[in-house]
A and B are shown apart, each in its own frame.
Chain A
């Protein structure tokens, strides 16, 4: 299953609302997960099952969607949100990731 994210990168100001889209080339139900990877660090789970917030993740992060189109939203972007965000489908092996969206601060 191929996962495609858009945009590949974006720059936004502190306090902005940011949205990242992830599309699958077939329906995957809600088997979609989001990860944040800060520079030089391992990925960190943000959202699972399309919209469930992982424990300890700030509430400004949210996920939505089902089927083949999903969205990660960051409400009120913070300096520490500088990172690359990747989606991952858990519908069928092999588990596949999107290519990542790099979020930069203006």
Chain B
């Protein structure tokens, strides 16, 4: 079955960097677009970024544009989120999610990894 496992979360100081990973299994990773979605404590869901199946197309939410970079390694079935110049408002659980082919929704989610930005 489809399985997504995030890792790399933790406590990071404002202005520093962190890289999240999402290892995928149970489906053909190389044909699926992938997203990062986050949820601040007690808040709603916020879409962060999407990458096409081949990595050629990437789009970002306004709040992370220019600071975060989404990428993937199809040889490792792994999705990444490079987070630079982090801010307190980036504190959230970060989920990776698969894009349903031909649609714009998230049909499978990982369990999430918590990022806390604090000095």
Contacts and interface: CB of A to CB of B under 8 A. Distances in A.
Interface of A: 31, 33, 35, 41-45, 48-49, 54, 86, 88, 90-91, 93-100
Given A42-B95, A42-B110, A43-B95, A95 B103 contact: no
Contacts, number: 55
Given A43-B45, A43-B95, A48 B109 contact: no
Contact of A48 (B37, B47, B61, B100): B100
Given A42-B111, A88-B45, 7 more contacts: A43-B109, A45-B106, A45-B108, A90-B103, A97-B46, A99-B44, A100-B45
A46 to B, nearest CB: 11
Interface of B is mostly: strand
Interface of B: 35, 37, 44-47, 50, 59, 61-62, 95, 100, 103-112
Contacts of B37: 43
Contacts of A98: 44
A-B pairs, 4 with minimum CB distance: A90-B104, A42-B109, A33-B105, A95-B47
A97 B44 contact: yes
Contacts of B112: 42
A95 B44 CA distance: 13
A69 B91 CA distance: 32
Q: Which of B45, B46, B103, B109 has the most CB of A within 10 A?
A: B45
